[in-house]
Amino acid sequence: MEIIRKIYADGTAEEEFFKQVEKRSGETDKKVTAVVSEIIENVKENGDSAVKAYTEKFDGKLPQYYEVPREVINDALTEADPAFTDALLNAIENISDFHNRQKSQSFVNAKENGVVLGQRVRGLERVGLYVPGGTAAYPSSVLMNAIPAKIAGVKEIIMVTPPLKDGTPNKDILVAAALCGVDRVFLSGGAQAIAALAYGTEEIPKVDKIVGPGNIFVATAKKLLYGTVDIDMIAGPSEILIVADDSAKPKFVAADLMSQAEHDRLASAILVTTSERLADETIRELERQMADLERKEIIAESLANYGAIIICGSRQRACEIANKLAPEHLEVLFENPMEYIGCLDNVGSLFLGDYAPEPLGDYYAGPNHVLPTSGTARFFSPLGVNSFEKRSSFIYYTEQALCEAKDDIVLVAEKEGLTAHANAIKVRFN
């Protein structure tokens, strides 16, 4: 069995493959939806007792405490490996610098006729942050979600995370939470934690928005509860697309494809190249490098099922394929990568050149790593400061200004058959 398929782009072969990739992110399994719906209703009705019962059922035992005491969070930071803390602090500096530039401004537009129009921007009151625990614990997710929320002016961040098998919290996650200013941490995971955040319980406060990654049960709960609470996005399996010409280094290309393939057996890693030499040498590099990687079984399955090397005739065609797929991560390994920024419109995050590999964005550079997947980069944007802001407009008119506008307003209102709308204007001048 070949490690990764090789496809010659002819308008048909690559399209068949793309259809196979799309099927990964099909409708949520009906059984999962039924299970999650039952969990949501139970938590809505029974609050913390339901949450704790599910924690015991799914995580093996009740944790030592439901809400992690502040001294435990502080101790985790004090006892952490200084090199790890320094690495997080350096990442925080970069992430904060980038996101500070995204802040929206309120504005007031005072016109000469006395009319005052404006927009008020402020942060949400309270946000829930879901962080996976156990073996899939990602301190970087804490940084990428909490930092823009704080910059937006969110008043309180409530974090939920599953306990480890021994009932204790993951200390690396607590370190990240302490450094980012997370206000409260609860040891609960799964759909039950999402429901608790959405509805509020006796102990877990109700939030305005839920962000953060999770398994299919978490994702399904977020999807079902959207409307009761806001969410960041419905995240699908991870994906990377690399567009490259003959100048690209096969060793780098192979390493970067596997950096995403290791996430999940459903992850998609695709190379689109104008160079058959690069394609063949990348395959050899995949075989060589994979042998030394811990998650090689996951990588192998991911590459075999949802990976491909597509050979096309031009860089322009490679860019067209990239825009069609709208990938979560897109690496541009062309000779002059900066030239292509303007023609790559549908992408979550863009990585340019040999020394901007995807993990740089995951952990350190500054742009957010919470990105649209499954082609939704056509219309969704990365998580950012504005994801945690809300806007409201305001209007002030003088009597004279409304008098000047009244005939137009009444005419449109009556055209729509809304005579009470028209009357609310006319009554002021009768």
263 is catalytic: no
What does the alpha-carbon distance between residue 177 and residue 157 come to, in Å, rounded to a whole number? 10
Q: Which of 99, 263, 329, 369 is catalytic?
A: 329
**CA 188 from chain center: how many Å?**
21
List strand residue ranges (DSSP E) for 124-194, in order.
Answer: 126-130, 156-161, 184-187
User: Is residue 45 annotated as part of the catalytic site, yes or no?
Assistant: no
State the pairing for strand pair 5-8/268-273: unpaired
| Lateral strand order in the sheet of 209-211 | 184-187, 156-161, 126-130, 209-211, 230-231
Instruction: Say if CB 331 and CB 240 are below 8 A apart.
Output: yes
User: Nearest 5°: phi and psi at 339?
Assistant: -70, -15
Which of 239, 262, 285, 328 is labelled catalytic?
Answer: 328
Q: What is the distance between the alpha carbons of residues 64 and 214, in angstroms, rounded to a whole number?
A: 23
Per DSSP, the residues of 175-232 read HHHHHHT--EEEE--HHHHHHHHHH--SSSPP-SEEE----HHHHHHHHHHBTTBEES
216 Cβ contact partners less than 8 Å away, ≥ 6 residues apart? 28, 29, 32
The alpha helices in 226-357, defined as continuous H runs, are: 250-261, 276-290, 296-306, 315-325
Instruction: Please give the positions annotated as active site.
Output: 328-329
